[in-house]
Chain A
């Protein structure tokens, strides 16, 4: 397979992936770390990046794509917003209004669950248990856990600028 004229993976991304290689006895184990490194930069992992990751790890592109598509985590066709907000809908949050929180926050921004605002700032996704049931209902926005949310406090929080996810 020939490399695309304008590679998607930067030299910095490749260096970060290679820096992890000594941790594992084979290169396939770098698949998930590589997907995370690319996703953290591009906010999605386009198919072209999958092909490049596969070449880097001596895998077939289908092997990397198989892993990527198993996890619903990695967007492929479009980047998610600069802020990616996971709204918990599992039982502890649901008992304290998690489903209503998701609906109300989505309608405040005029988007559906999994949607992104037209300005590309915010993506809202339902999530299964975020492991913060002591603060239900909760939202994970990039690296920040938003605790004991109401629709009003959630909209106020999600409209703030926020550091990128690490």
Chain B
């Protein structure tokens, strides 16, 4: 259940830990050599399936199962896309992995490409990570020189090229089909699924999209074994045959109002309170937490009384959050106005909605305008019901949008208003003493402008 020492983060703080020599000295690439010498691609798929590894990018879909959706005996090409467009507010675990241990990522990519029979892997890297860009390119060059990439690797007939592809600062490129469209040179508008990328993905070919941390986990499972991986984390619920469990180590990003922000590795299932107190040195300045984001802003909010919730794949959902997400834990102390929090969240999603689906484009945009009006002292109590109505109707879950961005925009709205409604109402009454009760339509265009 426990993790005794960092594994995914074992290179952090090691001098020259990002180099091939350092990675090999820690046991790296030996699993790849053994795999290529004695195992079939299907063996690697079975290993990852047996490990119970679930994708670390946010959705938590079982990785091995995703690979099995590829068509059998496809003539190729099959593509592996690595999602390094890490843009969820509060999230930086992939950056740490790419900067401090790029070879761990590269070995995971090579193993995963071997498993999926991909001969080309693209790493879609967000623009804002120049250091990751240079570290990854350096690692690719070293791995190529060492014969781990290129034609007929180790005489097996398996060939692989890894290419870095740089994004241009758009959150939607982290959505897997948005990423694919962007890589193809188009605007990053997500595709309607099905067909899923495994059937028709990049360049209309079968494609797997996996996260950077998922690749690091594959490398560690190959090195340390399935039993090791399954000894860490939270087993599947025997009472729920559909629960795939939450196995393995996880990188938790801790930021906001804590004494020691940072990326910490722990067994899946650590509680937010343990993470804040034992790793983060507690809430800063001796204050209390008012609310905590469990896994990136789109997962919503936990209240102080919900902080003992285990941060495994099933935990945050039990207290009304969208899920574990990226496991980016952001602490908001008691001095912060919930109005300011929600304004920040709405501003982010209004900026990052790709504009393809009307409920999301208009919903995120108008929620920001309403929050600006509330903040400016012109809020009405009915605005809260309007925000909730928008939150309840935009997204994949209510069925009005193509991708989950709008669900992520809606969740902070719904959580903040449901869990902190009294504070919103007090703010509106206090700042708009003559108009808080008005229910007539707002002359919004005159107040906030429109475009």
Give residues in A with beta carbon < 8 Å to B. 23-26, 28-33, 35-36, 57, 63, 66-67, 70-74, 86, 89-92, 94-96, 127-136, 140, 143, 145, 165-166
Contact = CB atoms under 8 A, between A and B. Distances in A.
Given A28-B185, A70-B187, A128 B351 contact: yes
A49 B185 CA distance: 16
A143 B354 CA distance: 26
Interface of B: 77, 86-92, 94-95, 120, 126-131, 133-134, 161, 163, 165-171, 182-188, 203, 253-257, 261-263, 293, 297, 328, 330, 332-333, 336, 340-341, 344-345, 347-348, 351-352, 354
Contacts of A134: 92, 253-255, 261-263
Given A30-B185, A67-B187, A70-B170, A92 B351 contact: no
A111 B188 CA distance: 31
B186 A131 contact: no
A133 B20 CA distance: 28
Contacts of B94: 131
Of A26, A96, A128, A165, most buried by chain B (CB within 10 Å of CB) is: A128
A15 to B, nearest CB: 18
Given A67-B186, A131-B92, A133-B255, A95 B330 contact: yes
B188 A92 contact: no
Nearest to A129: B89
A32 B182 contact: yes
Given A136-B255, A136-B261, A166-B130, A66 B187 contact: yes
Nearest to B257: A95
A166 B132 CA distance: 12
Most buried by A among B120, B129, B166, B168: B168
Given A72-B170, A127-B169, A143-B130, 15 more contacts: A29-B185, A63-B186, A66-B187, A71-B168, A90-B344, A91-B89, A92-B255, A92-B256, A94-B344, A95-B336, A129-B90, A131-B87, A133-B91, A133-B92, A134-B254
A131 B182 CA distance: 20
Contacts of B90: 90-92, 129, 133
Contacts of A95: 256-257, 330, 332-333, 336
B92 A29 contact: no
B203 A133 contact: no
Contacts of A140: 128, 130
A28 B163 CA distance: 16
A25 B170 CA distance: 24
B381 to A, nearest CB: 26
Contacts of A25: 77, 203
A123 to B, nearest CB: 14
B374 to A, nearest CB: 17
Contacts of B351: 128
B348 A91 contact: yes
A125 to B, nearest CB: 10
A95 B328 CA distance: 15
A127 B168 CA distance: 12
Contact of A128 (B89, B257, B293, B354): B89
Nearest to B335: A95
B163 A92 contact: no
20 contacts: A29-B185, A31-B185, A32-B166, A33-B165, A70-B170, A71-B170, A90-B348, A91-B90, A92-B255, A95-B330, A128-B351, A129-B91, A129-B348, A131-B87, A133-B261, A134-B92, A134-B253, A140-B128, A143-B130, A165-B130
